[in-house]
Structures are given as structure tokens and as C-alpha cells.
Amino acid sequence: MDPVTPSLEVTQLAFAYPDGHQALFGVDFRLARGERVALLGPNGAGKTTLVLHLNGILSGGTGTVTVAGLPVGKQHMAEIRRRVGIVFQDPDDQLFMPTVREDVAFGPAAAGLKGAELEARVDRALDLVGMTDFKDRPPHHLSFGQRRRVAVATVLAMEPEILVLDEPSSNLDPASRRELADILRSLDVTVLMVTHDLPYALELCPRSLVLSDGVIAADGKTADLLADDALMRAHRLELPFGFDPRSVPTGTGRL
């Protein structure tokens, strides 16, 4: 891919459900290759609807979505779904095979990989998330944090262009939260992180988008957006009690 071509470009995306509920009213943004961007917004803002357009699960509205130069549509659907990997909030929605290895191998095997090439793909994905030693374990024997890391590996095994994470820090203990943050920082992919965990967004994503009432209400540096009290109030975003984004050093990659 030409390095100038954005990983993701969304232009005037609007969508209404069959019952007439309008969820998106003209969404515009682009993600450059390798960016980590948080998608913030209150419940009902349209975040899930937007995410489901990125790999063609939802369609039929107006506007365009382009992934690495390819328009999302029937003609390129198989490639789009390889390039846009979504990690669901509940890892148990993604893990269904008897062993970790089989779960991570499922997508590449369905795409035609086999033998040594398939094993190498599985090993690389598990190594990226620090789960190599658990390859032969049943997923249901793992902790919640470990299952989430395996869920990330199932997506990484497809070698995506964009990794979309739905509430990645939810239900994680502090150590698992930190381990996942370290993994996400190490990946050479574009990341779009949908989250209500505003400190996690500040830790991991230099840039954030605020989606509110079906439009992008703000797009800028995460630290600046979280420090804008009027913006936060207007879009029902609240920081944890006592947390001041102005007190967090920027550029350290850590909270």
C-alpha cells in the first residue's frame, strides 16, 4: 500500500435502520497507517453502527468507507474482512474451538492456509500477544485477560490492516489491563479503539474522535479533548473521580 493512502477513510457516512431510526448522519474521518485512535462517545451515539460498517456487516446507507484504498462493498468483501479485524468486548464471542491453537488457526485455515505456513501464522500471532505457552490449552481454562489476548491473536493471525477493539479494557484486572496495553503499543497495525475507559484512551491513543448524535463532534489530541470540560459535558463523557488529564505527562506512553 502507498504510505500516503490512509488505512481508513470514512466520507459522509449516513445510515438508518429499517425501523426508521437514524444512527449516523454524515460521519467523516480518516486514519493514517499505524495510528492508534480512540472512538469515544456516550451510549447511543452510533459507535457500534459505525464499526459494523468498517467491514461491511452493515451497509445500505449513504456515503463511503475505504480501507487501504479499497471501497467497502461486495466486490472486495473477502479482502476487506481480512484487513479489518474486530475484537469483540466479550472474548467468548470469538473463541469456540477446543484449543487456543485451533481458534487462532481457524481464520487463516478458512482462507486456504495449511501446513507449515498455517503453523507459522498461528505461532506468530500467539507470540505477539504473549500466549505461545498456552497453545494447546482449552480457551475456557484461561483467565478472562488471557482469553482476551487470544481473541486479539485470532484477529492478528489474519494479518489485518486495521485492528478494531470494542471496550478492550472492560472486566480486566489492573495487571491484565497493563499487559494488554503493552501488547497494543507493540503492534504494527492501525488501531481504532472504541472505549468508555477515558484514561485508557489517553494512555494508548494520541488522537481521539468523539462521536455524538451520529456525527463526529470532535477530532483532536486525546489529552486536549479530555481536558475540555465544556466538550466533555456536552457529550456526556465523564472522567473517573479525581482523574485530571492535565496532570498526566504526555509522550511517555504510560499513565
- For 160-174, the pLDDT digits (tens) are 999 999 999 999 999
Q: What is the pTM of this model?
A: 0.93
Q: How many CA atoms lie less than 13 Å away from 24 in the CB half-sphere? A: 26
* Class of the CATH-defined domain 8-90+161-237: alpha beta
Let me know how long the chain is. Answer: 255
**Nearest CA to 242 among 205, 198, 194, 177?**
198
Q: What is the mean pLDDT of residues 225-250?
A: 90
pLDDT of amino acid 248? 78
Is the per-residue pLDDT at 63 higher than 50? yes
What distance lies between CA 54 and its chain's CA centroid?
Answer: 11
CA angle 179, 183, 189 (to 5 degrees): 160
pLDDT of 252 > 50? The answer is no
CA distance 173 to 43: 23
Grid coordinates given for 116: 507449515
- Give me the pLDDT at residue 247, please: 82
Output phi, psi for 207, to 5 deg.
-125, 145
Q: 39 is written with which cell numbers?
A: 472512538
Instruction: Name the helix (H) or strand (E) containing 248.
Output: none
Cα torsion 40, 44, 45, 51 to 10°: value is 70
How confident is residue 253, by pLDDT bands cut at 50, 70 and 90? very low
Written as one letter, the residue type at 77 is M
10 Å CB burial of residue 225 (0-12, 13-18, 19+) is buried
Residue type, 89: Q
Supply the angle between the helices 174-186 and 144-156 in degrees, to the nearest 10.
10
Instruction: Give me the percent of the chain exceeding a pLDDT of 70.
Output: 96
Q: Which residues contact 156 (CB under 8 A, 6 or more apart)?
A: 85, 124, 125, 128, 129, 163, 187, 189
pLDDT beyond 60 at 251? no
pLDDT given for residue 2 in this prediction: 58
